[in-house]
Structure 1
Amino acid sequence: MKKIIAKDYEDMSQQAAKFMIDFIKNNYSSSKINIAITAGKTPIRMYEILSEKYKDILQNNKIKYFNFDELPYKNDLSKGLVSEELNNIFLNKININLESFYHLNALNYKNHDKYIESIGGIDLVVLGLGEDGHFCGNLPGVTTFDDWTVSVNLNKKDAINFYKNEEDIPNFYITMGPRSIMSVKNILLIVNGKHKQKAVENLLKLELDRNFPASILMLHPNLTLIIDDDADIK
């Protein structure tokens, strides 16, 4: 693992953006570059920097973007909240072609891992870290370290905070499981804020813990962790 401590959220975002761009440039000779990206609050500034400074690089047709989890709509399983958010905070801002985004959803998830394998794998995944140690939709006690891409039961009471209309809430969501993520070639994990300090401490214990799903990420051979000073262990 490579650990980088940024001085603050802005610095973390700048360094994460630079990591992504350097990764893309270093892989320009490849016929394709497959990148899975995260939604949520942590990457927002990183996406702003990328879309403001590097739009021309990110529009390269050899780059294909992926979501790694999805909260579908009950009455339209081809759509979902995660992909909508990724479009709003990043993909629409860099004006990529429709073919440059592969949408993992409730209709295709059963074949997702085979598809990823058929295109040579995902080269880079950008992840956040939950306070409870979750990554993607892998929450404690929900998925196991042996899971590939799966459908997971969705608690309606928890989901009401995400959906505008209660009738849109399904009884499941989709996520790439730990085995799917560990098969990715490179992982960039970005974490910020004092509220994540305990999670970072648990992560760096280097102990595989099923109650802290992200602990498995420490076994990945190409993991880069970028955290701001607030999230660092004091």
Structure 2
Amino acid sequence: MNIYTFKDEEGFVQTAANQITSLLNANPYAKLGLATGSTPVGLYNKLIEMHRQGLVSFANATTYNLDEYVGLPKDHAESYRTFMNEKLFNHIDINKEQTHIPNGNAEDLEDECRSYDRMLEQNGPIDIQLLGIGHNGHIAFNEPAESLTSGTHITTLQAKTREANARFFPSIDDVPTHAITMGVGSIMKARQIMMLIRGEDKAEIAKRALTGPVSTDCPASLLQCHPNVIVLLDQGAGRYFK
């Protein structure tokens, strides 16, 4: 595991963007695992900028998102399909038919989970998987538990996770209670994992995940077992890694 801290936002997002653009320039058909939330927005802005400068093309790339809320229409302002379209896909030359996000409105959610896993198995492995981390150590929507599910599954969002996401909704009551998420086993199959951690409020969980015991009580700690992980922390989140 390689851990880097940055004093400024530009260095943080440029380093992350370089990881992805270098991969695409070497392999235009690369498979990208993407994430949502506020943490990767700066990265996506940088990728759009580099694309407009002619430094990278996404024309032949395929993307797989980690998760989606259950019950939100795909065109809902806070759905992860809307997020990805607005924050990245609408601004680059990617074929949207090659962008995959779990369907949180499938008639049969269990079948959707199985279908997503089959797709990942048939088309994988993902070349680089982007991750953030929740305040409770979750990755994607794999919440702390006595045991974790390996494949794509439906998960009940913990109160802390819903509270963290409430800022994107009119009220906490509007935050979905369930999500469909890629499992830890699927995440761990990626050739490389890049975790982005931002903010002083993530410093404690970053320390626990990256240096503490490996435990399902902190799902992100399982990344210590992966052979190719790069972690980028901003100055606040990297307080213990200077």
Distance in 2 (alpha carbons) for counterparts of 1:168 and 1:59:
37
Distance in 1 (alpha carbons) for counterparts of 2:74 and 2:68:
10
Distance in 1 (alpha carbons) for counterparts of 2:83 and 2:74:
16
* Mapped contact 1:126–1:187 kept (Cα < 8 A): yes
* Mapped contact 2:131–2:194 kept (Cα < 8 A): yes
Q: Once the 2 structures are TM-superposed, how far is the Cα of residue 130 of structure 1 from its aligned partner?
A: 1.5
Paired letter, 1:17: A
Equivalenced residue count is 229
Higher helix share: 2
% same residue: 28
Partner of 1:191: 197
* Mapped contact 1:145–1:216 kept (Cα < 8 A): no
Residue 143 (structure 2) pairs with residue 139 (structure 1): yes
Distance in 2 (alpha carbons) for counterparts of 1:86 and 1:185:
22
Partner of 2:88: 90
List gaps (5 residues or longer) in structure 1: none
* Mapped contact 1:131–1:196 kept (Cα < 8 A): yes
* Mapped contact 2:25–2:56 kept (Cα < 8 A): no
Partner of 1:6: 6
Partner of 2:26: 26
Distance in 2 (alpha carbons) for counterparts of 1:54 and 1:147:
35
Partner of 2:38: 41
Distance in 1 (alpha carbons) for counterparts of 2:75 and 2:114:
14
List gaps (5 residues or longer) in structure 2: 107-111
Tell me how large the CA RMSD over aligned residues is.
Answer: 2.8
Distance in 1 (alpha carbons) for counterparts of 2:198 and 2:65:
21
Distance in 2 (alpha carbons) for counterparts of 1:51 and 1:65:
15
* Mapped contact 1:67–1:83 kept (Cα < 8 A): no
* Mapped contact 1:78–1:105 kept (Cα < 8 A): no
SS in 2 for 1:204: helix
In the superposition, the TM-score normalised over structure 2's length comes to 0.83
Paired letter, 1:231: A
* Mapped contact 2:133–2:220 kept (Cα < 8 A): yes
Q: Deviations over 1:130-185 (max 9, x none)?
A: 221111001223x8334211011357993893556999876531001111101111
* Mapped contact 1:206–1:218 kept (Cα < 8 A): no
Distance in 1 (alpha carbons) for counterparts of 2:173 and 2:215:
36
1:1-234 equivalences under 5 Å are 1-28=1-28, 32-55=29-52, 56=54, 59-73=57-71, 76=73, 81-106=79-104, 107=106, 108-141=112-145, 144-154=147-157, 158=162, 161=166, 162-163=168-169, 172-232=178-238, 233=240
